[in-house]
Amino acid sequence: MLIEIESFFGNRLISGKKCTEKELREKFRKVIKIAETQNFTELFCRMYNFEEYDLSEYIQADFVIDLDTHLVYAPRYGCNE
């Protein structure tokens, strides 16, 4: 499962065990209660055994966590035909 973390401090890509959008929102809520936005990714990865990878424009994430708006959503990717 790939998750893009969007933030004022920079976007990141993490990968870990697959979960539902509802489960991901609950994980997000638990971490954001105890972490500042700039430390969110490191703490999330440590708590839920995720790994961070280099972000690439060619990778399509399963979910996005937007730390600026506190939204968790599944992105929609369009075809360029």
Residue 10 burial class via C-beta count within 10 angstroms: exposed 0-12, middle 13-18, buried 19 and up: exposed
81 has a pLDDT exceeding 60: no
Given a contact cutoff of 8 angstroms between Cβ atoms, the answer to whether 51 and 45 are in contact is yes
- pTM summary value: 0.88
pLDDT bucket at 63, cuts 50 / 70 / 90 = very high
The dihedrals phi and psi of 27, each to the nearest 5 degrees, come to -60, -45
pLDDT digits (tens, 9 = 90+) for 4-48: 999 998 899 999 999 999 999 999 999 999 988 789 999 999 999
| SS3 call for 68 | coil
pLDDT (0 to 100) of residue 56: 81
Report d(CA 46, CA 23) in Å as an integer: 17
50 has a pLDDT exceeding 80: yes
